């Protein structure tokens, strides 16, 4: 397979083929030379997450993707796909400026899982991520909100 045009040679599902075509069109519209690197840069995170779904179990997971991960257990593909879906959801919330520090999210757990997932693929990338981001410092400085009753001004004393 020509690795430069892997996106044209692999039997992707229609939805992924449409995303690849859209990515290629964006590159050409710039105008820029169509290269694998530029196509990859245009593909959305959701595209990559879907490659870990059951749809690609026999064509991608078994022959290729499973070899990238140090994890070895039954249900590993499904576990990784679920983790990637969770991270994509978190990433989308952040990208759309939604609050992530209140409610049901455990941002410390999210951060730990993000680092763990990066570490599955590259220990050096995990180390770089840990050394270049400010999340732990910002989380440590976050002052918890007082309960609503304490924020309401007390009534004037008699």
* Confidence at residue 15, expressed as pLDDT on a 0 to 100 scale: 96
* Confidence at residue 158, expressed as pLDDT on a 0 to 100 scale: 46
> Which pTM does this prediction carry?
0.77
Q: Which of 45, 70, 75, 69 is nearest to 57 (CA)?
A: 75
Whether cis (ω within 30° of 0) applies to the bond prior to 119 is no
In angstroms, how far is the first alpha carbon of the chain from the final one?
85
Q: How confident is the model over 28-56, as pLDDT tens digits?
A: 999 999 999 999 999 999 999 999 999 99
Instruction: Give dist(CA 28, CA 35) in Å, integer.
Output: 10
Over pLDDT 70: what percentage of the chain? 87
* Confidence at residue 144, expressed as pLDDT on a 0 to 100 scale: 59
Examine the pLDDT at 132 and tell me if it is beyond 50. Answer: yes
CA atoms within 13 A on the CB side of 104: 1
Q: Which two tokens stand for residue 63?
A: 């022959």
Whether cis (ω within 30° of 0) applies to the bond prior to 31 is yes
* Confidence at residue 73, expressed as pLDDT on a 0 to 100 scale: 86
Give the residue carrying structure tokens 């045009």.
Answer: 5
Give the residue carrying structure tokens 């959305």.
Answer: 44
Q: How confident is the model over 53-110, as pLDDT tens digits?
A: 999 999 999 999 998 887 788 899 999 999 999 999 999 988 888 887 777 788 889 9
Each domain of the chain, given as residue ranges in start order, spans 1-43, 51-133
């Amino acid at each position: 397979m020509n690795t430069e045009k892997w996106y044209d040679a692999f039997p992707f599902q229609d939805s992924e083929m449409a995303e690849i075509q859209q990515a290629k069109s964006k590159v050409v519209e710039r105008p820029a030379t169509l290269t694998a690197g530029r196509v990859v840069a245009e593909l959305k995170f959701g595209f990559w997450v879907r490659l870990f779904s059951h749809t690609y179990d026999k064509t991608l997971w078994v022959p290729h993707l499973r070899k990238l991960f140090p994890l070895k257990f039954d249900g590993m593909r499904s576990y990784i796909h679920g983790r990637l879906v969770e991270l994509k959801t978190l990433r989308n919330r952040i990208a759309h400026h939604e609050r992530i520090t209140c409610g049901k999210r455990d941002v410390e757990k999210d951060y730990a899982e993000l680092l763990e997932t990066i570490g599955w693929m590259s220990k050096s990338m995990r180390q770089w991520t840990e050394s270049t981001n400010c999340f732990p410092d910002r989380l440590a400085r976050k002052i918890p909100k007082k309960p609503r009753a304490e924020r309401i001004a007390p009534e004037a004393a008699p």
